[in-house]
Structure 1
């Protein structure tokens, strides 16, 4: 019998320990174990543990939606008739139960205040019954001041308590959450986020999944504009509430998630627009870069063409000078020869013969033929395709045809002088030994044979 009682006592202690471990981690299992511990304690006539486990069960019932049952069962107690220890336990459990119930009415301030007032009333009584300056007493005193709006007093008590308790305990999570809410109410956003994060970390380290700090942290991050982190924290809070089977926490968290998810989608949309704008700008820059490269290549090609043309022009100048010197040399030789002939004729008294030679025009014709031959060779050396290019400017029925052995004819020589920049007809007439009227006539006939009469002279100047 003694052995059986001892075994039952061990089973009771083990069940109580399991219920305590399940508290905040898996609510419905915690309720089941609390109920089992109650029965075992009743069977073993251990009224203290039976009462304690009953209070544990009552305070957690609102988390899974059993608020009415919890209220009815708690209010069936006559608190003043209880011993001091049981009364303190009941006040603690009742305060927690009413706080859970108040949290179910975030959109109904009057109803929320009604239940918060009940919780504060019990907590004020509880503070007077706890050991002075103990962690439990400081926690409840600070929370009581917080509920009454005395933020400065609550902040002082709770921050002092934080320095005294284990940073990984569930009490740290609760105290840090309260301090974070005080900082938030006073507009100290960064400090609020710090303490809410500290509370969330303590919840994780103490294996507590029935949490509020993580969802409060998510809302704080949303208010700060960090949508992605806010959504992540709230999703984690919801997942914890689901795994903990805490229906009340699921409801609280799920109310905030759609708003933040919508904000996240809006932020994603803005980010996509920014991305598209950036891509569009990059495309424009790429097009501009390509156009710039093309322009630079064209400029380089143009510079190369200019360089090539400059080299050709310099070569042409050299040829001009060479042919000019050659032509001058020929005429100086002819002039010297003529002077020698004239001197011999005068010395021998054959002035009549000299007169007949100059009068007949034969000498001028010979000089002109020699000049034409020299000029033709020099000009075609510079512009070898001149004849073909001129014919491209003339109508099909007016092309210039050269006789055998002929390099340039009179038409082409006139055009050659124009190409060389000698456009005055008197100068051309003097060089070719023709009359001015004859040159005018040739030039007029050439224009009439051109495809474009009005621009014929300009087109000739472009040959090269």
Structure 2
């Protein structure tokens, strides 16, 4: 979905590329040396404009037909008239398109144009199936559609795109969706194709997956097809509309509305009447839901403003109450001063008691000095990390500035720095923790059964199991936080805790509580 939104944002780039290509074709037409070359150059322009702007496509059809009659070449005339019928069908002028095709005798169509002839008849029949209201009209046009589709399939090479698309369509109409998916996936895996062809194949594949009831695959291929349509800068398409309908059914009203609006804008610019009618069937429903959602959001904002206003009133009341309490506190302070004078006499009596506590205070001071040292060590480590990351940033910036993109990619993909820093971090953690709790390993082993004792592979370096319970001793008991600290999954941490509890002496449920007592004076 993010790729589709990115493509929409970059659409001006693709449209600019399309216009540049059209300008090259116009230049080729202007440079054509004879009528034959001009005829083929007009055909190239027609092919590009038909899914882009049918008005321009129709104009090139007219020019091509005039040129064909000028040359008197019967094959050019047939080709040009079929072009006109094709464009008329795409803009909804089905009767006019049929009149042209019916006026062309079948036996006068050159062999190489027969697939095009059958394609146009098949396509117009498909439009009429959708357009018909009565069942008998739909059935009649379906029979015509199937006849010309079979004729088209008989002429197309089995490895051609046209054959694959029509054959998969036939499989789908016969409810053989699995076969349709198979030939489409095989073609995609073993052939090269244009961006526009990719859009057609993905749309056909989405229809097959829809028949199989695989909504995720249907959506995936509609996304692929929509992206390809936009990158190819065609404006007569169906995938984005179909994707919008699917998203609307899933409750994603914002994206559905945006995609339908884009599809409608393109259909209008292309003057693709059939696509406009298709979008008009669903757009009012989606737009009404979108408007309702906007109104609902506004209502929520209004309620939020009311709640905030009420809270502001309570805040003012609270401030007034605090001011009142401050006044009371001032009076209490005066009374406390008087009481303080009385307490001076008690201070003399406490002096002797303070002397007896001096020795204990010295021990506490020593412990504080140790903790301060470890805090300083961690602050120093943080400073080192900042310097390392700054050096890393400068190195990346240097690579960018000198254009060494390959080296930059290699550096960004490397995890060596992360792994080294993690090893250093865990070494520092082990060292610091064992200084705070030098007997932790021995005390912890006393909580385990004799056959489950933990022996360190390297002096001063904890294993993962000990680190888990070291963090628990420090008060970090949430498995999610422990997993984040040790870079393991929550499931792995949970398994470590359960496995170790099963090794405990006595009541297993009390193991972690007993770990919390390690290093305390009561042990």
TM-score relative to the length of structure 1: 0.60
State the partner residue of 1:132: 158
Instruction: Work out whether 1:228 is the aligned partner of 2:228.
Output: no
Local SS of the residue matching 2:34: helix
On the 8 A contact 1:59/1:70 being kept in 2, the answer is yes
State the partner residue of 1:30: 57
CA distance in 2, matches of 1:59, 1:285: 67
CA distance in 2, matches of 1:109, 1:200: 32
State the partner residue of 2:91: 64
On the 8 A contact 1:167/1:202 being kept in 2, the answer is no
Residue 97 of structure 1 and its aligned partner are, at CA, apart by: 2.0
On the 8 A contact 1:62/1:101 being kept in 2, the answer is no
Write the mapping of 1:55-454 to structure 2, written as runs, cut at 5 A. Answer: 55-77=82-104, 79=106, 84-104=111-131, 111-112=137-138, 114-166=140-192, 168-309=194-335
**Pair 259,114 (structure 1): closer, same or farther in 2 beyond 3 Å:** farther
Residue 128 of structure 1 and its aligned partner are, at CA, apart by: 2.1
CA distance in 2, matches of 1:214, 1:291: 55
Q: Cα deviation per residue 1:182-207 (whole Å; 9 max; x = unaligned)?
A: 33444433432322222222222333
Q: Cα deviation per residue 1:247-291 (whole Å; 9 max; x = unaligned)?
A: 222222233222111111100011112222333333344444444
Q: Compute the RMSD of aligned alpha carbons.
A: 3.2
Q: Say how many residue pairs are matched.
A: 313
CA distance in 1, matches of 2:317, 2:298: 28
On the 8 A contact 1:173/1:198 being kept in 2, the answer is yes
CA distance in 1, matches of 2:185, 2:263: 25
CA distance in 2, matches of 1:116, 1:134: 24
Residue 164 of structure 1 and its aligned partner are, at CA, apart by: 4.3
Q: Unmatched 5+ residue regions in structure 2?
A: 1-31, 343-523
CA distance in 1, matches of 2:137, 2:309: 59
**Pair 281,109 (structure 1): closer, same or farther in 2 beyond 3 Å:** farther
**Pair 247,115 (structure 1): closer, same or farther in 2 beyond 3 Å:** same
CA distance in 1, matches of 2:185, 2:146: 20
Q: Unmatched 5+ residue regions in structure 1?
A: 317-464
CA distance in 2, matches of 1:282, 1:190: 42
On the 8 A contact 1:177/1:196 being kept in 2, the answer is yes
**Pair 292,19 (structure 1): closer, same or farther in 2 beyond 3 Å:** same
Residue 130 of structure 1 and its aligned partner are, at CA, apart by: 1.3
Local SS of the residue matching 1:59: helix
**Pair 199,115 (structure 1): closer, same or farther in 2 beyond 3 Å:** farther
**Pair 188,299 (structure 1): closer, same or farther in 2 beyond 3 Å:** farther
CA distance in 2, matches of 1:108, 1:278: 53
State the partner residue of 2:395: none
On the 8 A contact 1:199/1:213 being kept in 2, the answer is yes
Local SS of the residue matching 2:220: helix
Residue 27 of structure 1 and its aligned partner are, at CA, apart by: 1.0
**Pair 186,159 (structure 1): closer, same or farther in 2 beyond 3 Å:** same
Local SS of the residue matching 1:161: helix
CA distance in 1, matches of 2:139, 2:205: 20
Question: For 1:9, which of 36, 39, 42 is the aligned residue?
Answer: 36
CA distance in 2, matches of 1:273, 1:167: 50
Q: Which has the larger radius of gyration?
A: 1
On the 8 A contact 1:104/1:252 being kept in 2, the answer is no
